[in-house]
Structures are given as structure tokens and as C-alpha cells.
Amino acid sequence: MKFIKLILLFTIILSCQNNKIDLDRENFELTYPSYLSLDESGEEGTIFYLYDNKENDIFTANFNLVSIKKKSMTFLELTQQIEKETKNYGRLISSEEMRVVGQNFFRIVMETEENNVVLKSIQHFYPKGESIYILTFLSEKNYFDKHYNKIDEVMMSFRLK
């Protein structure tokens, strides 16, 4: 009986492991689930692209990071410009300034429609010098709503160095 209990306990412990990967690069770090595939080819100007290659949706849900050069601006100017530009692309659901572990960023959640598919995205904007790092998650709306907690966990794990 003790042996069976020990095996059961061991099985429970193994099933609770989170199977996460730490992506640690020169300028940033991020933790993501091991079932996602990583692409660092730089295609379409991305620094990285994370996606689930087993997903069978019309649109492949993905995380990506880009960096753009912008003239130096205050955090307030940046947030106002982002909100204004976002309204041209879709429906802005929420926008807020956030601070996590001493790092300020601006977060927006929005919906757009592409080829009759409703997409939902969350973006974090991190100003650093004359660059803005933009971390994005984009998926079909239903996928986003169903997996929000996992998505947010990945988004909140991002740190600029």
C-alpha cells in the first residue's frame, strides 16, 4: 500500500511540473510554455515569434516581439500616440499604464477583423532610449478568451535588461 501511495504521489508531482522554457537573450528575457515553437529568424522584422504548430485554427495564435526606433518621448506622449493609432486599426477594449518589478510599460487590448475572422490582441509597449519594444499576443477571439490566464502569464514574464 505504501508503494502505491508513493507512486501516486510521484505521479502527481510530475504532472504538476510546469514545463516552461526560459528565453534569456542579451536585451530581454521571457518564460513560455514548452509546447510553443520558437522562431528567431527575424522574419517580418520580429526579434522572436512563438506559436503552437499543432493548432488547427484558421489563424495561428502567436507571441512576437519587435523593436522600433522612435524619437525620444515621454511615457505620456507614447501612451497618447499608441491609443490614437490603435483606433485606426480596430476596437480598443482597454489601455493602461502598468509597472511590474520596477518596469513601466503600456498595455492595450484590442479586437480587429481580418478575412471575416475576429482577432483579439494584447500588446505591451516598453520604451527604452530611442527604441520601443512591442510584445504582442494575437489570436482568434475565442482562443484569446479561453486561454487568457496562460497568455497573461507569458506577457507578464517579459523583462527588458
Q: What is the pLDDT of residue 107?
A: 95
pLDDT, residue 55, reads 66
Spatial separation of the C-alpha atoms in residues 129 and 13, rounded to whole Å: 44
Residue 12 resides in a domain: no
Q: In this predicted structure, what is the pLDDT of residue 84? A: 85
Q: Does residue 87 lie within any of the structural domains?
A: yes
- Give the CATH number for residue 68: 3.40.1000.10
- Residues of the chain under the 70 pLDDT cut: 1-18, 55-57
pLDDT value for 87: 80
Mapped onto helix, strand or coil, the DSSP state of residue 44 is: helix
In the block, which residue shows the cell 536585451?
27
How many residues are present in the chain? 161
Say what the pLDDT of residue 1 is.
Answer: 56
Instruction: Give the chain's domain count.
Output: 1
Range of the domain at 126: 19-160
Q: How many CA atoms lie within 13 A of 16 on its CB side?
A: 6
* C-alpha–C-alpha distance, residues 64 and 135, integer Å: 6
